Amino acid sequence: MDATMINVGGILGSGIFMVPATVALYTLSSSLFFLVWILGGIISLFGALSVAELGAAMPEAGGQYVYLNRAYGPVWGFLYGWSAISVINTASIAAVAVAFSEYCGFFISANVFQIKLFAILSIVILTIINLVNVKAGARFQNWFTFAKIFSISLVIVLGLFLDGGSLENLYPVLSERPIYSLVGPLGLAMVAVLWTFDGWIFVSYVAGEIKEPDRNIPLSLIFCMLIVVSIYLTLNFVLVYALGFDKMVGAELVMSDAASIFLGEAGGTIISLIIIISLIGANNSFILSSARINFAMAQNRLFFKKAAEIHPKYNSPANALWMQGAWACILTLTGTFDQLITYVIFASWLFYGMSAGAVIILRKKRPDIKRPYKTPFYPWVPIIFICFAIFLTVNTIIEAPRDAGIGLVLILAGLPFYFYWIKGE
């Protein structure tokens, strides 16, 4: 359950509250709208099923860092770890913390500087919780994830049974546009949907601390995706049922708009509370799991040695947590996290695709490794996921070449540090 809640908590962040309006814009029909969400869930499940084999075979802290290291060599593992520590995970922690503070501003007025300070305070508190006790961090994650699931489920039930919605809002069922003209919009819709499913990788970061990893890692990933897909499909049905495509397109606060249809003026307040719960739970999942990457790198002498130390009293990677938290706080204060995320977002899917490829490579390279769990329908499941990862990466390079180029420079900027630590070893 702990492993499942870490993943569910990481996925159910802010994305589902914003992306449905974007998907509605690109699809404009209920059949295509729900098809994109179903496909997004299937592709994410394929990625989770692939990585589950690696996690069960190599239940070590660090997740993708370990898998890429074993499959492609230490430099690739380091570049992933460097990207995660310097930008991908820490900038995400900063972004979610600021979003949490901004939504708290719905109830308490605050200026820009105060919002940043409150965001930093939330990062520090969550870091301390996960430092003092690994199990306490997992319990905290469970509470917030259960609260999140309950709150969203309540909105779904109210939306289905209270007055305000209409089945007529599901029309048009079929798209009136020519099939050839749908390829581009559906591709953009798929990118947005897959972003909302991002986070299924988190359990692999803490694989070294999971009991019975050969059983619990694969099960947690499968349960996680079933829970998230069910919530996403039913919640999106309520949004379309309440608003219809005309009102969804261009809506900045699509969840609040839908809630106001069947809850009246109280809708905005209720949705803001749900989003706050979702964001704090998502950030705890980020902080709990991501620090295991620099911890694993430090154990391999590819990061600051202090990060490899375990706290003598709390038995947690305390220094790794503090280093991660300190950098996330700096990014929060400087406000550069949004830009950094834009620059390296394509790198996440590049490394995801390489991780799925590692399943195939290690089957050939290391057939001797004990594999308590094997990816079903191998090799098609990892191959299909790899194809989508390539599509997303290439699409980003074509649509935003400047951002992708800057992101590539940021990733390669880790090479001097790699050679410095290798030399030091």
For the chain, the 3-state helix, strand and coil shares in percent, each to the nearest 5, are 80, 0, 20
Architecture of domain 2-424: Up-down Bundle (1.20)
At residue 405, what are phi and psi to the nearest 5 degrees? -65, -45
Sign of CA dihedral 255, 257, 260, 262: negative
Query: What ranges do the domains of the chain cover?
Result: 2-424
pLDDT of residue 252: 66
pLDDT in tens, 298-322: 998 999 989 999 888 888 889 999 9
Mean of pLDDT values over 203-227: 79
Phi-psi region of 341 (alpha: psi -120 to 50; beta: other; left: phi over 0): alpha
Mean pLDDT of the chain: 84
Mean of pLDDT values over 271-291: 84
Q: DSSP H helical segments within 249-336, as ranges?
A: 254-263, 266-299, 318-334
pLDDT in tens, 364-409: 999 998 888 888 899 999 999 999 888 878 877 777 788 788 888 8
**Distant-in-sequence contacts of 128-132, Cβ < 8 A, 24+ apart:** 129/284, 130/284, 130/287, 130/288, 130/291, 130/316, 130/321, 131/311, 131/314, 131/316, 131/318, 131/321, 131/322, 132/314, 132/316
Distance (Å, rounded) from C-alpha 348 to C-alpha 354?
10
Mean of pLDDT values over 324-339: 84
Q: Are 231 and 35 in contact (CB under 8 A)?
A: no
Helix then strand count (H, E) for the chain reads: 18, 0
Q: DSSP H helical segments within 84-133, as ranges?
A: 89-104, 112-132
Q: DSSP H helical segments within 105-212, as ranges?
A: 112-132, 134-161, 183-197, 202-205
pLDDT of residue 7: 81
Helix axes 337-365, 318-334, angle to 10 degrees: 140
Distance (Å, rounded) from C-alpha 210 to C-alpha 2?
9
Mean of pLDDT values over 36-60: 87
Tokens of 314: 């709390």
Distance (Å, rounded) from C-alpha 298 to C-alpha 155?
44
Q: Are 124 and 325 in contact (CB under 8 A)?
A: yes
* DSSP bridge pairs for 165: 163
Lowest mean pLDDT among 1-15, 198-212, 396-410: 198-212
What confidence category does residue 134 fall into, taking pLDDT thresholds of 50, 70 and 90? low
Helix axes 183-197, 380-399, angle to 10 degrees: 110
Give the range with max mean pLDDT: 32-36, 254-258, 288-292. Answer: 32-36
Lowest mean pLDDT among 234-243, 268-277, 406-415: 268-277
This prediction has a pTM of 0.80
Q: In this model, does residue 233 exceed pLDDT 80?
A: yes
Tokens of 2: 């702990």
What confidence category does residue 98 fall into, taking pLDDT thresholds of 50, 70 and 90? confident
What confidence category does residue 323 fall into, taking pLDDT thresholds of 50, 70 and 90? very high
Measured distance between the N- and C-terminal CA atoms of the chain, rounded to whole angstroms: 39
pLDDT of residue 52: 84
In the three-class reduction of DSSP (H, G, I as helix; E, B as strand; rest coil), residue 265 is classed as: coil
pLDDT of residue 14: 66
Sign of CA dihedral 27, 29, 33, 36: negative
Q: Apex CA 108: angle with CA 104 and CA 109, to 5°?
A: 110
pLDDT in tens, 138-163: 677 778 788 878 888 888 888 888 88
Give the range with max mean pLDDT: 71-80, 164-173, 262-271. Answer: 71-80
Q: In this model, does residue 425 exceed pLDDT 60?
A: no
What confidence category does residue 353 fall into, taking pLDDT thresholds of 50, 70 and 90? very high
